[in-house]
Amino acid sequence: MSGVEHASVDSRKALELLRTVRGQVDAVVRMVEEDRYCIDVSRQVLASIALLRKANLLILRQHMNTCVKEAIASDRGAEKIDEITMILEK
């Protein structure tokens, strides 16, 4: 699988996860509005966070398989590595 094909798969998976998160967050809002048990709400929030992390990793992997590879081939790899390092430190 080429970098572009891999990126396309990662994009689709990330979008799928993000759409799931959107539904989960809508459900969390309803739970809070309905004054549901705090621990149940917290569990749903944590589940959303976990999916966001997975989506973020897919997006970063896509970036590394496309933009970073191209930058390295053009002798601009250090710039992209610094960029990724900065985002991971947040």
pLDDT at 53: 97
Could you report the per-residue pLDDT of 10-30, keeping only the tens digit for each?
A: 999 999 999 999 999 999 999
* Three-class DSSP category at 5: helix
Could you report the per-residue pLDDT of 36-52, keeping only the tens digit for each?
A: 999 999 999 999 999 99
The CA distance from 1 to 86, in Å, is 29
Q: What is the CATH number of domain 3-88?
A: 1.20.58.1000
* Domain edges within the chain: 3-88
The CA distance from 46 to 20, in Å, is 13
What's the whole-model pTM score?
0.82
